Amino acid sequence: MFGFGEQEQVHSVERLKRCDGQPIMLDRLFLPCHLLPELDQLELRTTWFADLLISHGIHLARARKIV
């Protein structure tokens, strides 16, 4: 489904988006560990995920959104 190899390790990041303090959407992001091995040590609460990827030289070619 996501194009990862069967044995490939991936990071799974969940973000709860809010509007006026109320939860409105849950994002689930999957990223192969080899692309950003130190992801679990980075501050994700105050950083836009896209900016984080770009600052580490990762530029998305495509993404999939399932609603």
Q: Residues, the chain, total?
A: 67
26-40 pLDDT, tens digit per residue, is 888 888 888 888 887
pLDDT at res. 46: 77
- pTM value is 0.65
40-65 pLDDT, tens digit per residue, is 777 777 778 888 888 888 887 777 77
Contacts 24+ apart (CB under 8 A), 5-9: 8/32, 8/33, 9/33, 9/34
Cβ-contact 9, 33 below 8 angstroms: yes
In the chain, where the domains are located: 10-55
Contacts 24+ apart (CB under 8 A), 35-40: 36/11, 39/11, 39/13, 40/11
Residues facing 14 on adjacent strands: 28
